[in-house]
Amino acid sequence: MNPRREFTHMRRVPFTCTLDCGSRCELIACVEDGRLMRIDTPPDRQDTPRFPRLIPCVRGRAHRRAQNAPDRVLQPLRRTGPRGSSAFCPISWDDALDEIAERLLRAREQQGPISILHATGAGSISGRGLSGADASRRFFSHWASVTEIAGNMSVHCVAMAQQWMLGSHLPGSDRATLLDSRLILLWGMNPAENHMGPNTAHFIAEARDRGARVVLLDPRYTDSGMLADEWVPLRPGTDAALAAAMAHVMIAEGLADTAFLERCTDGSEAYRRYLMGLDDDIPKTPAWAEPITGVDAEMIRRLARAYATERPAALLAGWGPQRTRYGEQSARALMALACVSGNVGLRGGGLGGYGTRGSGSEIALGSLPMGPYAPGRRLPPGSWAPAILEGQLHPAPALLYIVASNLVNRSPNSLANVAALAQVPFVVVHEPFMTPTARHADLVLPINTDLERSDLVTSWGHDSHLFYSQQAVASRGESRTDYWVFARLAERLGIGEKYTQGRSEQEWLDALLAESPMTLDDLARDGIVRCDPPPRVALEAFRRDPDAHPLSTRSGRIELRNHQAAAYGLPDIPAFVDTGNEPAGYPLQLVTPHHKLRSNSCLDANPWLHRLEPHTAWINSADAAAREIADGDTVIVEAPGGNIQIRAHVTPRIMPGVVSVAQGAWLALDAAGDDGGGCANTLTEHTLTPTGGPTTHTAWVQVRRLSDG
């Protein structure tokens, strides 16, 4: 092959993937004669320690393989066999859209609009701009007040805890401030795989090069262990106990920042009384915490002294600890610990959070405007299935319309989700791939991938970066954009003009930029605009002068004591609440983390990613030996609600007593009802936290060997 000829003839088209991965990167599609030849990154970008370029991960480069994945849906499909049987026949777009319009009208007239359920979120391709959730919300908002299945599965408990303690949900300090940290605690956070804001891992690595110490607290030695000096294995769901014991050490040894507690917090005396055991005669000492957390008491003392004295110290909390049975307490306890250490509001310190900008700051990007119909009812994404199965919905669902959401896979208790879908008379799914959710639909509509559509995309969690992701290749098969589908459905329902306002998709992109000084042409040149402002330190002004910059809590201070929590049956302080003992026969704790080769329930259709790293269950060497399981053996992981078959990865990288099955592999039920796909949510339950958050890191399993590998 002549590389010069290849270079000369290639078109280089900027695009970005819209995966809900914790970051957002620049990618270039290299296209020759309409064929996608490879995926590249832009050359010559500024790249300094303080202003790093946006570096894509393997998932972004794997988009080329996904284009031709065997599970790609290429035509509208109508179900011809039982739900889940994968028996479908192709139909025309006109027939599919006519049938959906007729079903929607019938459901609205006969059972009322709230009998129509509309689900979005965290799907096989996440939606942004004109695609996914915004396109479908706009459609329903112009047509009727339907029931919406939507909500925050990711940060429910931390948002609740911040609302109570800080008066609002704060994004945290910008990651570049980590360059000033002397100590970084990665508490259940895995930025090497999940990013948690663009370039988080870069800033941690850079801080370490400048002398910062990094400690990873996690049941697993994740890939973020590469960034750390030390790994402290911590039992899932016990974060509040470890935080309490560390705070106890700080108070007992005179290391607590009492000046900060007095000036900037409210309720610290109640928390101190809890820590010192003044009301229950149980001082929350390291010796008390050791059997709960699995962390050696001396290690707890060491951690506490370091966090209090090696200032500024950043406590970067992941979202796993708050997806536990009492996740509110984990989130509150980590914030309380940061307060006791006095690291709040310091450059290089901090209080967790996204580490990125909130919305509405740097770049004025509009969003598709909504119509007059607000949802008539809302169902949390963690509990829609029990609401159907237990007959809680009146009227009963007549139709479920799912857009950019692999609902069966992403929600806890996948087997119950399948059963719930079976109770809905008509299910429509928009999908590029034949996901487990699509397999249980009546109609599957083929949707474009990121490479086949143009859209405006903001960065994950903030809007200081704006991407113009441009269509690089023609649509495969008969796939279309979500917008295209809803525009035609709107026509059939007599709201076509309201939905499109006479605009093409390209004209909508121009309209979304109307408030901005930029035009699409400006954006098209580079594919991205970055407006990175100077790094911001969360709560810096508040720390300096809490009277002049009060929080929107009742006291204006950080409230360590919250009466709102008591209304949910929780302690009014960030006390540890025990999850309770394991159910008989299920001795191992299960965690279901995100994985570097998946993004929520996306990407399982890409065989290339499977080859890079097969889907496995992590089990500690001692637990495996006790069960005569060797690395690579096929095992069955059993939970009270379902079983999966999966290869075992026997490793010291997970603490004894804990098993890890990464989220994102797709449900694949065999005749016996076992899930050979290894979907993590086959093992989780619908149980919610006291305020309604998901509890996907509180589950118990047994592991048995099925065969030699």
Answer for which of 13, 23, 429, 648 binds ligand SF4 (CB under 6 A) is: 23
Q: Is 594 in the site for ligand SF4 (CB under 6 A)?
A: no
658-661 and 265-266 as β-strands: parallel, antiparallel, unpaired? unpaired
- Contact assessment for residue 247 and residue 329, using Cβ atoms and an 8 Å cutoff: no
Q: Which stretch binds ligand SF4 (CB under 6 A): 55-63, 73-81, 220-228, 527-535?
A: 55-63
Phi, psi for 49 (deg, rounded to 5): -55, -40
Q: How far is the CB of 247 from ligand SF4 (least distance, A)?
A: 35
Site of tokens 């500690």: 620
Q: Which stretch binds ligand SF4 (CB under 6 A): 14-22, 327-335, 549-557, 642-650?
A: 14-22
Q: Is 422 helix (H, G, I), strand (E, B) or coil?
A: helix
Q: How far is CA 387 from the centre of its chain?
A: 23
Q: Is 57 in the site for ligand SF4 (CB under 6 A)?
A: yes
Q: What is the 3-state secondary structure (H, E, C) of 27-65?
A: EEEEEECCEEEEEECCCCCCCCCCCCCCCCCHHHHCHHH
Q: Is 56 in the site for ligand SF4 (CB under 6 A)?
A: yes
- Contact assessment for residue 657 and residue 618, using Cβ atoms and an 8 Å cutoff: no
Please tell me what DSSP assigns to residue 361.
S
Q: Which is nearer to ligand SF4, 195 or 202 (CB)?
A: 195
Q: Is 312 in the site for ligand SF4 (CB under 6 A)?
A: no
> If we measure between CA atoms, which residue out of 582, 81, 61 comes closest to residue 325?
582
Q: Which stretch binds ligand SF4 (CB under 6 A): 21-29, 234-242, 263-271, 507-515?
A: 21-29
Q: Is 333 in the site for ligand SF4 (CB under 6 A)?
A: no
Answer for which of 13, 14, 24, 225 binds ligand SF4 (CB under 6 A) is: 24
Q: Is 530 in the site for ligand SF4 (CB under 6 A)?
A: no
Greatest distance between any 2 Cα atoms in the chain: 79
d(CA 276, CA 283): 4
Answer for which of 60, 127, 171, 233 binds ligand SF4 (CB under 6 A) is: 60
d(CA 242, CA 248): 10
> If we measure between CA atoms, which residue out of 413, 364, 359, 361 comes closest to residue 384?
413
Among all residues, whose Cβ is closest to ligand SF4? 60
Answer for which of 13, 14, 19, 319 binds ligand SF4 (CB under 6 A) is: 19
Q: How far is the CB of 565 from ligand SF4 (least distance, A)?
A: 35
Q: Is 17 in the site for ligand SF4 (CB under 6 A)?
A: yes
- Contact assessment for residue 154 and residue 386, using Cβ atoms and an 8 Å cutoff: no
The footprint of ligand SF4 on residues 686-705 (CB under 6 A) is none
Q: Is 21 in the site for ligand SF4 (CB under 6 A)?
A: yes
Q: Which is nearer to ligand SF4, 22 or 286 (CB)?
A: 22
And the tokens for 200?
Answer: 């988080």
Phi, psi for 156 (deg, rounded to 5): -55, -50
Q: Which stretch binds ligand SF4 (CB under 6 A): 20-28, 127-135, 182-190, 207-215?
A: 20-28
Q: Is 128 in the site for ligand SF4 (CB under 6 A)?
A: no
Q: Is 465 in the site for ligand SF4 (CB under 6 A)?
A: no
Q: Is 434 in the site for ligand SF4 (CB under 6 A)?
A: no
Cα-Cα-Cα-Cα dihedral of 121, 441, 435, 324, to 10°?
Answer: 50
Under 8 Å CB-to-CB from 258, ≥6 apart: which residues?
none
Under 8 Å CB-to-CB from 46, ≥6 apart: which residues?
53
Q: Which is nearer to ligand SF4, 465 or 649 (CB)?
A: 465
Question: What count of other Cβ atoms lies within 10 Å of the Cβ of residue 581?
Answer: 8
d(CA 628, CA 704): 9
Q: Which is nearer to ligand SF4, 238 or 471 (CB)?
A: 471
The footprint of ligand SF4 on residues 437-456 (CB under 6 A) is none
- Contact assessment for residue 414 and residue 642, using Cβ atoms and an 8 Å cutoff: yes
Q: Is 214 in the site for ligand SF4 (CB under 6 A)?
A: no
Size of the site for ligand SF4 (CB under 6 A): 12
Q: Which is nearer to ligand SF4, 195 or 453 (CB)?
A: 195
Q: How far is the CB of 21 from ligand SF4 (least distance, A)?
A: 3
Answer for which of 13, 14, 15, 25 binds ligand SF4 (CB under 6 A) is: 25
The footprint of ligand SF4 on residues 334-363 (CB under 6 A) is none
d(CA 195, CA 596): 9
Q: How far is the CB of 381 from ligand SF4 (least distance, A)?
A: 21
d(CA 612, CA 598): 12
Q: Which is nearer to ligand SF4, 24 or 118 (CB)?
A: 24
Q: How far is the CB of 667 from ligand SF4 (least distance, A)?
A: 22
Q: Is 201 in the site for ligand SF4 (CB under 6 A)?
A: no
The residue type at 314: A
- Contact assessment for residue 695 and residue 685, using Cβ atoms and an 8 Å cutoff: yes
Q: How far is the CB of 197 from ligand SF4 (least distance, A)?
A: 11
Please report, as ranges, the residues that interact with ligand SF4 according to CB under 6 A: 17, 19, 21, 23-25, 56-57, 59-60, 195, 599
